Structure 1
């Protein structure tokens, strides 16, 4: 398989990709020692482990770099760790040989667990199916059982009030269970957090795309419940979570705030725009203390067409040159899938493209992008022209470019598309 490359009219972009690609691949541990799983480092550089939250967020960048075997082995390993004795929580971290990371696990009643991770694993694993079209993501017994249990058995085991949303104990102790990924907020613990609901919604939506109801109905019900009860008109924002007295907390919650629009839970329209305004203001006033938290922000803003904001935070990640593995992997993700606006559906032989190039990037080309078995070259000039070449593939690929419409390309075909015309060659 040919290596992914990125070229641009901005040397800054090319240098950023070269750094991120090299650094991410240096974290691969597949053949580093005998007995290792196909794996890559996903967590603190000081801890030779892979963590569930990190793997979930590094997986798209890993796919683009050809690490599909690693993604499958690690996500499957987490899925297999969710047992009845652990009340369907997956374990938090493993060593590269698949052994449990003792630092985060004492016994089946005392281990690090965060509700968002339960649903994040389902969402991101099914996202890998969208990128690869590999039936193992659906047919593997451990993964298939995990998807169902994450949105059924896990919810039943932790939903004390019967509203379909699992609750955490509200102690702030991650070894007892946290409602949120935001570990900076242990002094004001939540029993339900925005990121937990958002990722539950994302998992249900991903499952609904495969099988429809009842997952679609449940996703819609959760969204409507959120939209109708978590909004404060006077403040112009959604709550970050629910406290132990069942009141809503409308403060700045970092991940518990911004993961809500990242998954689409906050919908579209004026409320969502006001909420995004609040997030942008708070990021300037009270930014997160940990660099890995910033790695979500380009995805948040690309999704809602705030491309200059996405680029601002992507530059922050690039300029940091931070050695935390999540940074290099997500920089690859954002520079390619984010800026080019790629939404794959490999199983249906289709790809949607919608440019998110900021004003100071005139041209961007990613060559040898893998969508299923298709090998693609995707070039964009601003937000007005996209040129696609299908180097190879198992058959025709249907491509949709923004408002220009859809067309079908066979291996060897190319197309140059503007917002007004499309030409096949």
Structure 2
């Protein structure tokens, strides 16, 4: 079982809480699909948005069967009659949740979920190397439908970007995960998830066009959260802003850094009312090297001890993949590690880390020393470490030790 320890006792204690709480949400068996709770604790259901964001933590905890069953169930639900939108929520036995579904013309649907499901499913292939994530007929069809048929069915102006109706009715569909911004026709998180899955599928020309469109949403300080019938909307948008750097749509460089500055200010001055919206913040901050801020918000999630299932699952992810900057590529027997340890954490040890068929131990000291031990695996694993991208091959039963220059610390 995955284990985490650190010279900062708080880390080990937080991981133990998050691991145990997340595993307590597993609902597999007794007539249920392999599944885990993903949504409000008061609703015995799994929701698409929540499953997408819980999947990485679930993999780290060994819940690959649950991930596969739930993602495939969503994929199967995206039909021509529903204009290729997946169902929003299911009971653990696979029944559609009537709370969020009236009929095929009137059910909760949010554009980012369509692409998020495809991207996160493909990300599970990176973690596991399990060919089912690529070869399963339902998932393979869903990937194609999400970027082709879904877009065609909802792209009134032919620019390759699907639009929502611009109403305040989530049963008629919204452009964003933030339901308080329902009047948007196009939202940043919808664009970001579409961009990410296009890149994941190797459709780079189409992804580049999405990114070029988004660059026109700049006002000199930050990007718009979306577009209404009256034009660009530059108000603070929560997911419609924070998911943009998470999925890489804002790119890199000076404009992206200014945008991140804006986001950090807004996170302080206008935090969300719902705890699950906080769970994205460490992910995008770690990805862009804002390590102290990422750690601050990770601690916020930990200290909340909130019972919303997404919190425990994402805390597991943040304490492992976030702090270590893990980028798995199991199909190609490779793993990238870039330390994001904040000043408060001198060292972090993650043991029994599952990447494909490999069982790993990673001992990270600050931002300068990385040790990777391969307990077992199908063969050598290529490990790339740090900002200098030093590459080493670690065979089963061996340890690779990489020391980066101290100026990276």
**TM > 0.5 fold call:** yes
1:361-394 Cα offsets, whole Å, 9 max, x none, are: 0010000000000000001010010011000000
Is 411-420 or 357-366 further displaced after alignment? 411-420
Match of 1:72 among 68, 76, 81: 68
1:418 aligns with 2:406: no
Find runs of 4+ consecutive structure 1 residues off by over 2 angstroms.
Answer: none
The answer to whether the aligner puts 1:182 opposite 2:157 as a matched pair is no
| Aligned pair partner of 2:329 in 339, 345, 351 | 345
Asked if 1:195 corresponds to 2:219, the answer is no
Q: How much has 1:420 moved relative to structure 2?
A: 4.7
The partner residue of 2:6 within 5, 8, 11 is 8
Task: Give distance in 1, aligned partners of 2:399 and 2:149.
Answer: 47
**Relative to structure 1, is the Cα distance of residues 404 and 141 closer, same or farther in structure 2, using a 3 angstrom cutoff?**
closer
User: Partner residue of 1:212?
Assistant: none
| Structure 1 spans left out of the alignment, 5+ residues | 209-214
Match 1:24 to one of 15, 22, 25: 22
Residue 256 of structure 2 corresponds to residue 231 of structure 1? no
Q: Which residue of 2 aligns with 1:295?
A: 279
SS in 2 for 1:232: coil
User: Could you tell me whether the CA contact under 8 Å between 1:125 and 1:137 is conserved in 2?
Assistant: yes
Query: Deviations for 1:194-233, whole angstroms, at most 9, x for unmatched residues?
Result: 000000001111111xxxxxx1110111111211x11112
Contact 2:176 2:190 in 1 (8 A): yes
- The separation in 1 between residues aligned to 2:144 and 2:389, in whole angstroms, is 38
Separation in structure 1 between the aligned mates of residue 34 and residue 123 of structure 2, nearest angstrom: 19
Aligned length: 405
Q: CA deviation at 1:35?
A: 1.4
Answer yes or no: is the 8 Å Cα contact 1:231–1:239 preserved in 2: yes
Q: CA deviation at 1:185?
A: 2.8
CA distance in 2, matches of 1:120, 1:185: 18
Pairing 1:46–2:42 present: yes
Deviations 1:120-143 (CA, angstroms, capped at 9, x unpaired): 000000000000000000000000
Contact 1:119 1:200 in 2 (8 A): yes
Cα RMSD of the aligned pairs, angstroms, is: 0.9
Please say if residues 392 and 400 of structure 2, whose CA atoms lie closer than 8 Å, have aligned partners that are also in contact: no
Per-residue CA deviations over 1:241-269 (Å, capped at 9, x if unaligned) read 00023x00011000001111111100111
Note the 1:298-317 alignment, pairs <5 A.
298-317=282-301
Q: Determine helix, strand or coil for the equivalent of 1:55.
A: helix
Quote the Cα distance in structure 2 between the aligned partners of 1:109 and 1:344.
Answer: 39
